[in-house]
Amino acid sequence: MVTKQEPNARLFVLLGFVGAGKSTYLAAAYHIANTTKVSGSLQITASQRDLEYIETLHERWLSCRPLTRTSGQSPQVVTLDMKGPGGTAGTVRVPDVSGEALINSLSDRRWDPDFDASIQAANGLLVFVNPANVKEPVTWVEAQAWARALGDGGEEGDGQDSPKKPWSLAEASTAALLIDLLEVVLSRNLRRPIPIVLIVSAWDLIADVDPQAWVDGHLPLLSHYLRNNPSLFRLALFGVSAQGGALPEKEAELQAMDDPADRVRVVGGSGDPRDLTRPLQWLLTQ
Ligand SMILES: Nc1nc2c(ncn2[C@@H]2O[C@H](COP(=O)(O)OP(=O)(O)OP(=O)(O)O)[C@@H](O)[C@H]2O)c(=O)[nH]1
Ligand SMILES: [Mg+2]
């Protein structure tokens, strides 16, 4: 349950659809906040919490096994007591929700009461997109070409062996879905401007471009929406590699690293490039 707020607790909700990289980020950030080797990172100060969920994620992350997809309608809430390099201290609560539950809530126009409670109380949002599964919008020119290819019969190819799959909302463009989701969040959370960290996950898959240029190029509608509504959003953007590479292809390479903290990278801001707590630190200062 997330309705019982502790004094000074800050609630940051993870948002993003199936495979966006939410849980992997949480597992890796937990690792970084537990090691003293990464200078400038948030540090976990107390461990008397119920850490079963995050410990399970962390264990898989450590052994380079892909995480299982988060399931269920209610979020799994991770609560951590942290202190920052500037002496700031406090409790951070991070609900991890299933991307599938989020998609279902957009199509059904209803969501779990616990999740609603966390959205209403959220001090900030962490919004994830994974370049490996972002759905880009279809341009008018492409749509016209497809329509021509389908022909009068409305079937691709010979139309004999290809039964039509019913369309589902999950096939809509990522930007359109995220903007719909954010509109619903804004209707439930009255904080203005609401602090948002946009995280491009799996950053190891991206070469020679900075996170802003990537988002402008691949999610222009989302970029425009977030950047041009300063009364609604206060925005920060990071590229994050929380796993260090694609699995299982890079498993041996990642396993061979002496220090698991060396697998991770964050692009955006300054300091140790392994400091995955940087997005959380930004939220804590808003
Ligand atoms: N290459 C690469 N892949 C990553 C990275 N982080 C996550 N992934 C991959 O992204 C996919 C989804 O990761 P999750 O963290 O489970 O995504 P999620 O947002 O929690 O997804 P749900 O639980 O379904 O909501 C998995 O296939 C991961 O292997 C990364 O840093 N690099
Ligand atoms: Mg997950």
C-alpha 26 to ligand 2 mean position (Å): 9
Burial 77-112 (b: 16+ CB within 10 A, else e): bbbbbbebeeeeebbbbbbbbbbbbbbbbbeeeebb
DSSP string, 63-81: TTPPPPPP-SSSPEEEEEE
pLDDT tens column, 160-184: 556 677 888 888 999 999 999 999 9
C-alpha 87 to ligand 1 mean position (Å): 32
Predicted confidence at residue 1, as pLDDT, reads 45
Least confident of 13-17, 158-162, 231-235: 158-162
**Nearest ligand, CA 243:** 1
Confirm or reject: Cβ of 241 under 6 Å from ligand 1. yes
Least confident of 106-110, 118-122, 123-127, 151-155: 151-155
**Of 181, 195, 187, residue with least CA distance to 126:** 195
Predicted confidence at residue 163, as pLDDT, reads 65
Confirm or reject: Cβ of 178 under 6 Å from ligand 1. no
Residue 108 main-chain phi, psi, to 5 deg: -85, -15
DSSP state of 235: E
Q: Ligand 1, closest atom to CA 242?
A: 31
Report the percentage of the chain scoring pLDDT > 70. Answer: 93
Q: Show the domains of the chain with their CATH numbers.
A: 9-284 (3.40.50.300)
Average model confidence (pLDDT) across the chain = 92
Confirm or reject: Cβ of 202 under 6 Å from ligand 1. yes
Specify burial of residue 172 (Cβ count, 10 A radius: 0-12, 13-18, 19+): middle
CA distance 28 to 144: 44
pTM of the model: 0.93
C-alpha 21 to ligand 1 mean position (Å): 4
* Average pLDDT for 265-274: 97
* Average pLDDT for 86-95: 89
pLDDT tens column, 179-205: 999 999 999 999 999 999 999 999 999
C-alpha 24 to ligand 1 mean position (Å): 6
- Please indicate whether residue 15 or residue 168 has the higher confidence score (pLDDT): 15
pLDDT tens column, 32-48: 999 999 999 999 998 77
Confirm or reject: Cβ of 133 under 6 Å from ligand 1. no
When pLDDT is cut at 50, 70 and 90, the band that residue 3 belongs to is very low
